[in-house]
A and B are shown apart, each in its own frame.
Chain A
Amino acid sequence: QSALTQPASVSGSPGQSITISCTGTNTDVGGYNFVSWYQQHPGKAPKLIIYDVSKRPSGVSNRFSGSKSGNTASLTISGLRTGDEADYYCSSYTRSSTYVFGTGTEVTVL
C-alpha cells in the first residue's frame, strides 16, 4: 500500500486560505468516505482535525474544512494563523481493511 500523495509544503499569509490535496486511488480515498486529517506540531503527537472527509471533532475550529472529489481529498484552512504552522497528514481506510497515511505537508505562515 503506497502512501497517499500530498504536496511537500504549502504556505500562505495570515488571514489567507490555503488548500492541501491528498491523492490516492479508488481502493482507498476514492472508495470510501473514511478520510481523516491530522495536524502535528514539532515534537508532539498528531491531532485529529477532520474525520469522515468533512466532519470536525468537537473543539476543532471551523476554519478547518475537508472535502473529496474522486480519488483526491482536500483540507482547507481559512483565516490562516501563525498557530496553524505544523505538518498535516491525510489518512484513508483502504480496501484491505488497513489504513494509509499521506506523505505529509508542511504548512508555513509567511
Chain B
Amino acid sequence: QVQLVQSGAEVKKPGASVKVSCKASGYSFTGYYMHWVRQAPGHGLEWMGWIIPSSGDTKYAQRFQGRVTMTRDTSINTAYMEVTRLRPDDTAVYYCARVGVSDDYWGQGTLVTVSS
C-alpha cells in the first residue's frame, strides 16, 4: 500500500533552517509528482510547490521562491523540503502529498515550530 512517512517535529529559532523528509513506499517513487503543502495553526492549506522525482525539476509558489528548496534522493525513495531564514509565521504543519490524476496520498504531517 502507498505510504508517505515524514520526519518528526522540529523546533527552530528565527533565522534558522529546517529540512523535512518524506519517505515513499508502495509505488514507483519516480512516477508521480510530490507536492508540499503547509497549514499554520488554525489556518487554511497553502500550496508550497512540487518536485518531479524522476528529473528533480521543481516549481515553487512565488511567495516561497528563494527560501524553499525541494530535493529528492531516488536511491531511498525520499523527498525533502528545506525552508531557510525561518520566521515565527512559518510555524505550521508541513505535509508531503502524492496527488495523482484521480487519487491522493498524504504524509502524516510534520509540525515545525519557530520560536525564540
Contacts and interface: CB of A to CB of B under 8 A. Distances in A.
B109 A45 contact: yes
A45 B106 contact: yes
B35 interface: yes
Interface residues of B, number: 24
A64 interface: no
A100 interface: yes
Interface stretch (B16-24, B78-86, B97-105): B97-105
A3 B62 contact: no
B11 interface: no
Contacts of A91: 45, 47
A58 B47 CA distance: 24
Given A97-B59, A99-B35, A47 B104 contact: yes
Contacts, number: 60
Mostly helix, strand, loop or mixed at chain B's interface?
A: strand
Contacts of A48: 99, 103-104
Contact of A58 (B102, B106, B108, B109): B102
Interface residues of A, number: 26
In the A-B complex, the 7 residue pairs with the smallest Cβ-Cβ separation, listed nearest first, are A45-B106, A104-B44, A48-B104, A101-B45, A99-B47, A89-B45, A57-B103
Interface of A: 1, 3, 36, 38, 40, 45-48, 51-52, 55, 57-58, 87, 89, 91, 96-104
Interface of B: 35, 37, 44-47, 49-50, 59-63, 95, 97, 99, 101-104, 106-109
22 contacts: A40-B45, A45-B107, A46-B95, A46-B104, A47-B104, A47-B106, A51-B101, A57-B103, A58-B102, A89-B44, A89-B45, A91-B45, A96-B62, A97-B59, A98-B47, A98-B49, A98-B60, A100-B47, A101-B45, A101-B47, A102-B44, A104-B45
